[in-house]
Amino acid sequence: MQPDGEVTVMNDTMVTVVGNVATNVEYRETATGGMARFRFAVPSRRWDRRGGNWTDGPTSFYTVFAWRSLAQNLAGSVSVGEPLLVHGRLKVREEEADGRRRTFVDIDALAVGHDLTRGTSAFRRVVKSRDPDESSAAAVGTPPERAGARVGRTAPQGAGAGEAVAHGVPLAAAP
């Protein structure tokens, strides 16, 4: 067991996949923090020698799960159709319903980022609120920033990590 209480598992299958967000990010609060999930489409790309270009092959779909701060940041940062890189633990599960057995492939994400080979992105550091009255609760299925919930504040340019921020301005700079 690690000092933070996490159990280290040696035989997890770690994957890094590149694809596109296929569904809206569903966000909800749990007893242990935020949880987000979305479907992720990963087409296989092949070089067509005859045509001299890349073509899409069959598409694999994964359900990506994220927890705690990654879930909150993901819910406020990702939209359908955006190209991403997802790194995490591959999980395969089987379920039976109505006499049919189905197989699902999930990824428990450890890191998610925009694919910068296909566009640009701007990083915004999140500063945790010091106000205990500010809640991080959001409606089930709605990303926190889009639901009007106050999960944290985006640090304005020039604000350092851990610096107090009020109304988007570092407190040291406030009048």
In angstroms, the Cα distances linking 6 to 2, 25, 67, 151 are 5, 26, 14, 24
Q: Where are the domains of the chain?
A: 1-121, 124-175
For range 33-43, the mean pLDDT: 96
For 1-121, the fitting CATH number among 2.120.10.30, 3.40.50.2300, 2.40.50.140, 2.60.40.1250 is: 2.40.50.140
pLDDT digit string (tens) for 91-141? 999 999 899 999 999 999 999 999 999 999 988 888 876 665 554 443 344
Q: Whole-model pTM?
A: 0.68
Query: Tokens in use for 164?
Result: 């107090």
Helix (H) or strand (E) holding 167: none
